[in-house]
Structure 1
Amino acid sequence: MSAPLGVILAGGKATRMGGGDKGLLTLGRETLMDRVIGRLAPQAGALALNANGDPARFAALGLPVLPDSVEGHPGPLAGVLAGLDWAAGEGAEAIVTVAADTPFFPRDLVARLQDAAAGMAHPLALAATPDPERGRVRHPTFGLWPVALRDDLRAALGEGVRKVVLWTDAHDGQEALFDGPGEPFFNVNTPEDLKAAEEML
């Protein structure tokens, strides 16, 4: 299976961090975004960034910046759709998405997502981790998404669907379970989280 294109989701408002772009915050000697790119690039084909507002603030990254095509900040699914539309223009069959504020995600993320989706008509899978109370928790910004379903996703967003798992469950989305040590999908939402991430380094 060929490597999917990579899309970094940075379209949120970062309200708990006081606004701005969390991905441009510094962790150690690099920004969160640099760390995310460093992990994703070896696993995927070409990369792009889903973000809204002035794309010039990301110019130093040298990546295409894809704004949401659905107004009102409807959430991650809008970023996924922007990525799928871009990938269709590139002639790709699938994308993998990661969050811009999650610097420690697995270096085998794509391979594990592809394994989980193997044999499906359309490659669709989300990352998941064990949870002592709920069994497992899905991480909806970390997924493998088929370009073939982009028009279906566009229609779902138009009908008001916002919750990622409602759409993935409707299309038999699979789960790739990451049950190793640590918190592979630890994300930086608050200044306290950033301090914790510095300790995790």
Structure 2
Amino acid sequence: MKQPLGVILAGGQATRMGGGDKGLLRLGGQTLLARVIDRLEPQVAGLALNANGDADRFAEFGLPVIGDSIEGFAGPLAGVLAGLDWAATQGADAIVTAAADTPFFPCDLVPQLLAASEGRLHPLALAATPHPTRGTARHPTFGLWPVALRNDLRAALQCGLRKVVLWSDTHNGAEAVFPEEAAFFNVNTPDDLAHAEAML
């Protein structure tokens, strides 16, 4: 399979931060989004940003900005679909998504997701970390998604599906298990931002 494209999911409403773009918050002198770009860009064949509203607010990053095609706030799966539709125009087979508010995710995210999906009908895998009672906990904004399933995903969203793992399980999605849960620490609140500063 060709190297996947990358899509950074920045379409969340950031209600616990008081609204606005969490990716534009600063952490250690850099925006969260710049940190995510720095980690994801070397792992993919090209990069785009999924965000709704005025694209000009992200102009400094020089990335294509793609909005959701599903009406209303349909959650991360709508961002995945927007990324898959964009990837189809680029001739790509798959995308890897990362969240704009998760600055410490693994630098081997893409190769591990690709390895987990080997031998399956579709290259579909979610990042996961060990969990004390459930075995693993999946991180649904970090995944490998096949362009071939974009119309299936569109139909599922139009029927009201919103949970990433429900759709992933429908297609026998794999798990790429990473040992460090802290790698997927995401910034939802001002306290989280302070904690991220301490983690730097």
Q: What TM-score range do you get, normalising by the shorter chain?
A: over 0.9
Structure 1 position 198 matched with structure 2 position 193: no
In the TM superposition, residue 194 of structure 1 has moved relative to its aligned partner by 0.3
Structure 2 CA distance for aligned equivalents of residues 139 and 2 of structure 1: 24
In the TM superposition, residue 133 of structure 1 has moved relative to its aligned partner by 2.3
* Moved beyond 6 Å, runs of 4+: none
In the TM superposition, residue 6 of structure 1 has moved relative to its aligned partner by 0.3
In the TM superposition, residue 61 of structure 1 has moved relative to its aligned partner by 0.7
Q: Which runs of 5+ in 1 are unaligned?
A: none
Counterpart residue number, 2:98: 98
Structure 1 CA distance for aligned equivalents of residues 177 and 122 of structure 2: 19
Q: Report the 3-state secondary structure (helix = DSSP H, G, I; strand = E; otherwise coil) of the residue aligned with 2:48.
A: strand
Q: Report the 3-state secondary structure (helix = DSSP H, G, I; strand = E; otherwise coil) of the residue aligned with 2:183.
A: coil
Structure 1 CA distance for aligned equivalents of residues 71 and 197 of structure 2: 35
Structure 2 CA distance for aligned equivalents of residues 45 and 70 of structure 1: 26
Q: Report the 3-state secondary structure (helix = DSSP H, G, I; strand = E; otherwise coil) of the residue aligned with 2:142.
A: strand
Structure 1 CA distance for aligned equivalents of residues 170 and 81 of structure 2: 16
Counterpart residue number, 1:136: 136
For 1:199, give the aligned amino acid: A
Q: Report the 3-state secondary structure (helix = DSSP H, G, I; strand = E; otherwise coil) of the residue aligned with 1:184.
A: helix
1:75-128 C-alpha deviation (Å, 9 max, x unpaired): 000000000000000000000000000000000000000000001111000000
Q: Which runs of 5+ in 2 are unaligned?
A: none
TM-score under structure 2 normalisation?
A: 0.98
In the TM superposition, residue 162 of structure 1 has moved relative to its aligned partner by 0.5
Counterpart residue number, 1:153: 153
TM-score under structure 1 normalisation?
A: 0.98
Structure 1 position 47 matched with structure 2 position 47: yes
Structure 1 CA distance for aligned equivalents of residues 139 and 156 of structure 2: 20
Q: Report the 3-state secondary structure (helix = DSSP H, G, I; strand = E; otherwise coil) of the residue aligned with 1:7.
A: strand
1:155-192 C-alpha deviation (Å, 9 max, x unpaired): 00011111001100000000000014x60100000000
Counterpart residue number, 2:183: 184
Counterpart residue number, 1:10: 10
Structure 1 position 33 matched with structure 2 position 33: yes
Which runs of structure 2 are paired with 1:112-123 in the superposition (5 Å)? 112-123=112-123
In the TM superposition, residue 136 of structure 1 has moved relative to its aligned partner by 1.1
In percent, how many aligned pairs have the same letter?
71
1:120-145 C-alpha deviation (Å, 9 max, x unpaired): 11100000001112221000000000
Structure 2 CA distance for aligned equivalents of residues 166 and 97 of structure 1: 17
